[in-house]
Chains A and B, each alone.
Chain A
Amino acid sequence: MFSLVNHLLGTKTFAHGVHPPECKDETRGLAIHQFPFAPLLVVPLSQHIGKPAEAVVDEGAEVVRGQVLATADGFMSVAIHAPATGVIRRIALTPGIKGKMELAFFLEPYTASTQEVLEGKSLEAATATPEQIIDAIQAAGVVGLGGAGFPTHAKLKIPAGKSVDTLIINGAECEPYLTTDHRVMLEHADEVMIGIPYLLKATGADRAIIAVEDNKRDAAEVLRAALPQGLPVTVEVLPVKYPQGAEKMLITALLGREIPSGGLPLDSGAVCVNVGTTAELGHLLPRGMGLYERIITLGGPGIKKKGNYRIPIGTTLRYILDYVGVEDDLSTVVMGGPMMGAAASSLDIPITKGSTGVIAMTERQTGRMIDRKEYPCIHCGSCLDACPLFLNPSQLGLLAKNGRYQAMADDLHLMDCFECGCCTFACPSHIPLVQRFRVAKQAVRQTRRPAG
């Protein structure tokens, strides 16, 4: 009924979801600035989903900005490039945002260097084959810059027997505080338009849709003005709602299709690529360069010099916060947006290709979340009305509390949950639902592993 009503009204959106406070006003108007080089950059070998890259330089090696430090190890892996000209001091363990220690290059930039970026072989979208484009994207080390860190080339490779008709360029940026995609669309619309033909060619899609949320109308205008002649691209403005930026939700909103449970976007004939990733491809591929820096929003009440910065990969949180200045009652540093981002356990954690933002929370704010009293579930149904996948978080929550993880997966589709956090956000009883589901999913994965 919901989709029918929306269809009749001509509104493109998805069912359920929530409306967190947007908190984008403080940084949306600030142009992207180049961030300085930290005295030491920590570049992990694994910044993507899949196998870590294989190091091709040793400790003590002198490297040039943009030079390959590590190459892809298999298909589900991408290359790593040097974020600065300098010397590799160590290859050692460093704390990662996922809570584990990870192997990383410790790169000391040369202060006297001009930091010119190494260029490689240029690839033209018009002349390249789909295979060449996919290989070039893998070699450029590009992963989804919207936060997931999924290797972009792996998304673009359409298996035999499947086909894709629509390429969706994701500019929804539905997470509160984050404004990087907004700024990219405003400042680098030309690079977005250069990037799209590569993606169209690689996937074989007939058309591309750039999806922008209603709170970024100015970006939609700029994109429309930048549309080149003959490129089958449209710009769609969608009503603001979280989690619109999730692939499933965006495809449903734009095309009215549902991705099958357990399936991939291409099972419904669409591929989603983040707009920041597209702009980056439009910048890197014609120059034959690799990904060595990314645009990040530094925001939240704990940060003094808020803004959108182009930051070298491997800059540690400590350096970033030191540079922009923090309030005295800083308490939690979130990497990514506040709905799905992870809280950093150490300031020595470096930003990686998947970091969309660094959001610093103050004690007042975190205290408000921590001090909230947890009530028993009153069956109000808010979580059911919030869950974009139509799960039953209330019942899942009760099972999770009793440790019945297998029943959650078998009967109530636990593994479909992509942890958007809408249920926890909406719950008036303040029950940490999604937090319990993460634990449950991990437990289910661990019991499945020996068998599979």
Chain B
Amino acid sequence: MKPFSPTSHSLAKTLTIRMSPHVGATASVDRIMFNVVLALVPVCGYAIYAFGIAAILVLATAVASCVLTEHVLCRISGKDTTIGDWSAVITGLLYGLILPPSLPLWMVAAGGVLAIGVGKFLFGGLGYNPFNPSLVGRAILQATFPSAMTTWLSAPEARFQSIPSSSVAFPLMKPVYDGVTAATPLSQWKFSQVPTDTGQLFLGTVPGSTGETCAALILLGGAYLIARRMMSWRIPVSILVTVAVLSGLLHLIDPQRYAGPLFMLLSGGLMLGAVFMATDMVSSPITHAGRVLYGMLIGTLTVVIRVWGGVPEGIMYAILIGNAVAPHLDNWIQPRLYGAKNLKAETGATG
């Protein structure tokens, strides 16, 4: 039978055919990533205020090395460059924020290249990296330059007047530090049982990595992202609650040996790690239950490493181990299917 075509009208149009839905939300990956950068701006601002030119140099070098690496690697492999999605900028910023401000810049650059190259691009780029790239960069530096990575400059008065000589140290030479080096609150506690005032910790007037010192601004950035639904609140909350509960219990047992929960929460990189590192979407679990478990695991590991480990800070290793477990959590935990609880009562009704 032949089609019978009614040709009484004149409307001639070429129709575009697409599958529904024909409308989309305004959400997009680059917009999420850009907002993470925005949320990091106050943290970076404070880092520059606290550590001066040294912080500017570290952050700029970190971001530049990460973005450039991503661009060059994309070009080499014949793909379109992916630096427009802002994810390399985030990696660079976070990576810079967890480095000591006095770290020689050539080390910063080398670590940045490795963070993107090994931590991200080797696995297939955005969406495929099993570990948080900025932590990969830092872990490599920590293993390669343990001394430089644990030398902390106490914020000098003249921080905006001169470039610290260690920053511009010649590659592969031993850096010379000017001014006074200081211990972080965590190592002070670990090695000499000296506590630091929690008010100072909250406001960040203590030695430490470039951007990890001010808990208040980190929480502000996190709150902004959670309010815009661009970050899962479950991960930071479960990490912080786990750390608070575990360290609180230990503190109750022996207040002389184990620091209190507030000190544990506010010191070191825990805040930055819990809010901005562990929440990296790509390397964390996707289900709600998985995210809570992942946070509990990271919180527990952090406390264990800090209390019984050989190093004062454990958040970096805790998150990296959490990243390794995340895909398994995703395999084990599936959301509860709508209508599944009645499934056994009904038989034979499958479509």
Contact = CB atoms under 8 A, between A and B. Distances in A.
B45 to A, nearest CB: 27
A370 B4 contact: no
A416 to B, nearest CB: 7
B162 interface: no
B18 A343 contact: yes
Interface in B102-130: 124-128
Given A92-B2, A375-B29, A321 B281 contact: no
Interface string A76-105: 000000000000011011110000010100
Given A267-B346, A338-B23, A425-B25, A332 B15 contact: yes
Contacts of B286: 379-381, 384, 392, 394-395
Nearest to A380: B281
A415 B15 contact: no
B85 A366 contact: no
Given A338-B20, A361-B22, A92 B1 contact: yes
Given A261-B343, A262-B349, A384-B335, A425 B13 contact: no
Interface in B314-351: 330, 334-343, 345-346, 349-351
A384 B16 CA distance: 30
B4 A93 contact: yes
B310 interface: no
B21 A338 contact: yes
Size class of the contact patch on chain A: 35 or more
Nearest to A89: B4
B346 A263 contact: yes
Contacts, number: 225
Given A262-B349, A379-B284, A381-B232, A412 B334 contact: yes
B29 A378 contact: yes
Interface in A189-219: none
Task: Pick the most buried of A336, A380, A394: most chain B CB atoms within 10 A of its CB.
Answer: A380
Nearest to B12: A347
Nearest to B87: A378
A260 B281 contact: no
B17 interface: yes
B339 A382 contact: no
B9 A263 contact: no
B231 to A, nearest CB: 9
Contacts of A427: 27
A428 B21 contact: no
B19 A432 contact: yes
B335 to A, nearest CB: 4
B21 A434 contact: yes
A319 B338 CA distance: 43
B10 interface: yes
B282 interface: yes
Given A92-B3, A375-B29, A435 B338 contact: no
Given A92-B3, A318-B11, A331-B16, A430 B343 contact: no
A143 interface: no
A260 B338 CA distance: 8
Interface string B193-213: 000000000000000000000
Contacts of B11: 318, 321-322, 326, 347
Task: Pick the most buried of B6, B23, B30: most chain A CB atoms within 10 A of its CB.
Answer: B23
B337 A391 contact: yes
Contacts of A326: 11, 13
Interface string A331-344: 11110101111111
B18 A376 contact: no
A264 interface: yes
A369 interface: yes
A93 B3 contact: yes
A48 interface: no
A372 B286 CA distance: 24
A377 interface: yes
B20 A372 contact: no
Contact of B339 (A101, A263, A321): A263
Contacts of B147: none
Nearest to B342: A260
A150 to B, nearest CB: 13
Given A267-B346, A376-B127, A421-B20, A390 B3 contact: no
5 contacts: A334-B22, A343-B22, A366-B22, A368-B24, A426-B25
7 closest A-B pairs by beta carbon, nearest first, are A376-B127, A421-B21, A260-B342, A338-B22, A92-B4, A428-B27, A389-B338
